[in-house]
Amino acid sequence: MASKRQIFVGGVPVGGGAPVVVQTMTKTETANLSATLEQIRAVADAGADLVRVALPRDQDVLALRTIVAESPIPVIADIHFNHTLALKAIDAGAHCIRLNPGNIGGRDKVAEVAERARTAKVPMRIGVNSGSLPKHLHALERQNPVEALVAAAIEFVELMESLDFENFKVSIKSTNVPNTIAANRLLAAKIPYPLHLGITEAGTKWSGSLKSAVGLGTLLADGIGDTIRISLSTFHAEEEVKVAWEILKALGLRERGPVLIACPTCGRLQFDMDTVVNEIEHRLEAYEDAIEVAVLGCAVNGIGEASHADFGITGAKNEGLIFSQGKPLRKVPQDRLVDALFEEIDRFHERGSVEVDASEAAAGAAWLERIEQENAGDLTPEKLAALEAAAAAAAEDITAPPTLDEAASPTAGRRFSRT
């Protein structure tokens, strides 16, 4: 279940059924204003809704006022150990304060920050990391790290409630994916506050993206999680934002930009699809609408499983086909495939509809039919999958394909369009 409570970070709603919020953290020295603002603009362009900056020193807090004034998205101040910096960050206009109540110097200091935040109407993110649990939970941590994480989070929630401060979201983070999943499931059942999800120190762009997709994707598919941050070991924070969006798009939780689908290739491939897919993916970054673009490595199966795509290409040795919504548009030399695909996409954007030249479409259809006939006996992965599906349907006497039951879906009510 999505959290019941909702808070606002700047103007961005978090929790309470709001779209899952994408955030990231700058990797620059915060006091380096030009570098920090440049990175904030880059992550905002990539689709970050919120950005967090580290404030370990007074000069970073001094820079914060300018950062808040010039940032295109709300700014969260990340504070550890020093409650004075948290007070100064609130005074500097931070839209949210992230702190760990366990390392800020005791209840009185937490209370001081909470009081200042209440007055300024600034929310907080409170939470625990697996590496920084309070001492009295270390024994429990050795026996059951998941329960220890949840116990620490609940203690912090109760501390804030006892201070009459409820304008917060909560995070439980661990480097361990199964523990992160289990702890957040337990916590979501116990508290109504919005949850921030992340896998701490997830790793490089490759391994960290996969760990995050598994951990956060599992929770999000359960309907758990209101804001996410992908932690990757790269200086390019916008890469974290792109991964976050791919996870949300894959789950149908939010839409942003085109969706690329591509066959996995096999021995029938007759052109350099790796290069072509990479080029298409790169060029699609310039487009904002949620068009679906398909790349098929051969025309042996016809347009087949890509027939729902808004645009697509399928290639052969010397030539290929541009298609749209399952219908051939035109045949082009293979080295023109990518450019011709984008010509069609751009024309569609200019005119608002797909332009079909009847004779070119007929030539494309004839070409496709010839290739399908020449390879009619081939058992391609797609044909095998279709045969298996038909056999399963016959065995179960299924007459209609299954449809998604929105009401029963784990992401029911959480499908949103980014506006």
Give residues in contact with ligand SF4 (CB under 6 A): 263-266, 268-269, 296-298, 300-301, 380-382
Phi, psi of 333 (to 5 degrees): -60, 150
Q: Which CB sits closer to ligand SF4, 86 or 296?
A: 296
Contacts with 152 (C-beta within 8 Å, 6 or more apart), sequence order: 102, 128, 133, 134, 137, 172
Q: CA–CA separation, 332 vs 338, rounded Å? A: 10
Least distance between ligand SF4 and beta carbon 401 (Å): 21
Least distance between ligand SF4 and beta carbon 99 (Å): 50
Least distance between ligand SF4 and beta carbon 314 (Å): 7
Q: Which CB sits closer to ligand SF4, 194 or 315?
A: 315
Phi, psi of 320 (to 5 degrees): -145, 180
Concatenated DSSP letters of 181-246: HHHHHHHHHH--S-EEE-BTT--SHHHHHHHHHHHHHHHHHTT--SEEE---SSS-HHHHHHHHHH
Q: Which CB sits closer to ligand SF4, 272 or 285?
A: 272
Q: CA–CA separation, 77 vs 55, rounded Å? A: 7
Q: CA–CA separation, 315 vs 337, rounded Å? A: 8
Least distance between ligand SF4 and beta carbon 364 (Å): 17
Least distance between ligand SF4 and beta carbon 214 (Å): 25
Q: Which CB sits closer to ligand SF4, 153 or 306?
A: 306
Q: CA–CA separation, 337 vs 297, rounded Å? A: 12
Distances (CA, A) of 364 to 270, 302, 368, 377: 18, 11, 6, 22
Least distance between ligand SF4 and beta carbon 75 (Å): 45
Q: Which CB sits closer to ligand SF4, 214 or 386?
A: 386
Q: CA–CA separation, 62 vs 60, rounded Å? A: 5
Reduced to 3 states, what is the DSSP secondary structure of residue 71? coil
Phi, psi of 377 (to 5 degrees): -85, -10
Least distance between ligand SF4 and beta carbon 366 (Å): 19
Q: CA–CA separation, 188 vs 2, rounded Å? A: 8
Q: Which CB sits closer to ligand SF4, 112 or 279?
A: 279
- To which H or E segment does residue 79 belong? none
Q: Which of 23, 357, 409, 85 is nearest to 252 (CA)?
A: 409
Residue closest to ligand SF4, measured at CB: 297
Least distance between ligand SF4 and beta carbon 360 (Å): 23
Least distance between ligand SF4 and beta carbon 326 (Å): 15
Q: Which CB sits closer to ligand SF4, 6 or 265?
A: 265
Say if residues 299 and 267 touch (Cβ distance below 8 Å).
Answer: no
Number of separate helices (H) and strands (E) present in the chain: 13, 15
What distance lies between CA 327 and its chain's CA centroid? 32
User: Using the 8-state DSSP alphabet, how is residue 174 labeled?
Assistant: B
Q: Which CB sits closer to ligand SF4, 376 or 408?
A: 376
Distances (CA, A) of 335 to 29, 273, 275, 363: 45, 12, 12, 18
Q: Which CB sits closer to ligand SF4, 110 or 299?
A: 299
Least distance between ligand SF4 and beta carbon 264 (Å): 5
Q: Which CB sits closer to ligand SF4, 259 or 386?
A: 386
Neighbours of 220 (CB within 10 A): 24
Least distance between ligand SF4 and beta carbon 372 (Å): 12
Q: Which CB sits closer to ligand SF4, 251 or 306?
A: 306
